[in-house]
Amino acid sequence: MALLKDGISEMIDEKRVITKKPELLAPAGNLEKLKIAVHYGADAVFIGGKEFGLRSNADNFSIEEMAEGVAFASKYGARIYVTTNIFAHNENMDGLEEYLQGIEGAGVAGIIVADPLIIETCKRVAPKLEVHLSTQQSLSNWKAVQFWKEEGLERVVLARETSALEIREMKEKVDIEIETFIHGAMCIAYSGRCVLSNHMTARDSNRGGCCQSCRWDYDLYKLEGSEEAPLFADEDAAFAMSPKDLKLVESIPQMIEMGIDSLKIEGRMKSIHYVATVVSVYRKVIDAYCADPDHFVIQQEWLDELDKCANRDTAPAFFEGVPGTDEQMFGIHGKKTTFDFAGLVLHYDEKEQIVTLQQRNFFKAGDEVEFFGPEIENFTCKIETIWDEKGHELDAARHPLQIVKFKLDQKVYPSNMMRKGK
């Protein structure tokens, strides 16, 4: 069978099917999150190492942990990329060659890079690694994309500020893999061009020290030095520079038809519950659309599912064009979270119908809870009796990471999750 003129689909049994399925790329701040991301459907995972990355507050990966992550991901056919996207100063050059060779030796598929120094060094000392240009370079036009293709890069990660029309033109004019963000936090400034953190805390945002000054609470005055009361004195929080989070779940069909190669979820600092929930939803949307694009309908349950994990208010940001005032957070905006992550399944005894799980948030006997995971359909149940590891009855699971058990008449699997409605 041959691709149709759109370049992404074929006719199979008189039905159009998308055969150029985009990569679903998920974040992982540590090994546990990597395994969860892959288990819940990610085609690839991006991680940070102990050096040369921008998320210094994440757990991050040693070379040995990278190798373990690669070995796990390869069982599922998934790939691992490592962010090495600082803008290096002279003192950051020490150990770079050995570090890149270590990443290559761990079996990592590629690195995500912003600095030309690291690009040149990687191609010279670790040639097996793919080189992807980081969003820190803020690519927003096709000529810049063409430039980096001619420099030998395999993929570019676009600026979050690019629109659908701009991305379409890039795909049409330059033959290179394009990766774009679909979900997660937005920066108030172009990535790689913000120095708020440097100015306000002496922490270099482009070398892993961003303290998210844009998320702080600010009082606004009409004039500098004014003795008047703040403009928002009656509000508890007047966010002046805090954008809403990106959510493009309803635009996935359009992005697939555009031929975008990789769809990226932001959030290496997020919890395993966030990673599992968001990855599983986008996995379902991508698979459903690719299987039958001409009859695809977005399901309300998918949209509701995204509200079950912690996030700020959301918006499409720049994808639909220049955003208006609705894309930014002003005053008080509560998180749109309807559920708390309560437990991680460790084991299920089918004969006794008892689930063993690790507590991640307080829950008690009598609570209504929901289980979800890639092997099961979401279902709810009521917890009747809770036991600890030694069989002692408990009224509640009170302690973080506590191992507890209770009766459950539906089968669940390790790494499935339990959550409780608020």
Q: List CB contacts of 396: < 8 A, sequence separation 6 or more.
A: 362, 363, 364, 365, 386
Output the pLDDT for position 321. Answer: 78
pLDDT of residue 120: 96
Give pLDDT, residue 8.
86
Q: Are 340 and 383 in contact (CB under 8 A)?
A: no
Residue 206's pLDDT is 63
Q: What pTM, to 2 d.p., does this model score?
A: 0.90
Sequence ranges of the chain with CATH classification 2.40.30.10: 339-421
* Amino acid 9: pLDDT: 86
The closest of 190, 191, 156, 161 to 174, measured between CA atoms, is 156
Q: Return the CATH architecture of domain 9-191+242-329.
A: Alpha-Beta Barrel (3.20)
DSSP 8-state secondary structure symbol assigned to residue 174: -
Q: Which pLDDT does position 233 carry in this prediction?
A: 59
pLDDT at position 355 is 98
String of b and e for 283-315 (b: at least 16 CB within 10 Å)? bbbbebbbeebeebeeeeebeebbebbbbbbbb
How high is the mean pLDDT in each 10-residue block of the chain (422 residues)? 70 88 97 98 96 66 97 98 90 90 98 95 98 94 97 95 94 97 83 73 68 74 66 60 87 96 95 97 98 95 91 78 69 70 98 98 98 97 97 97 98 98 88
CA distance 198 to 201: 6
User: The CATH number of 339-421 is which of 3.40.190.10, 3.20.190.10, 3.40.50.11540, 2.40.30.10?
Assistant: 2.40.30.10
How do 79-84 and 44-48 pair as beta strands? parallel
Nearest residue to 414 via CA among 337, 350, 338, 340: 350
- pLDDT of 54 reads 59
Q: What is the pLDDT of residue 236?
A: 57
Q: What is the pLDDT of residue 7?
A: 78
Where exactly does CATH 3.20.20.70 map onto the chain?
Answer: 9-191+242-329
DSSP secondary structure string for all residues of 372-418: EETTEEEEEEE---EEETTS-EESEE-STT-EEEEE-SS---TT-EE
So what's the pLDDT on residue 192?
64
Provide the b/e sequence for 35-44 (b: ≥16 CB within 10 Å). bbbbbbbbbb
Residue given tokens 């299987």 in the structure block: 291
Identify whether the C-beta of residue 122 lies closer than 8 Å to the C-beta of residue 113.
yes
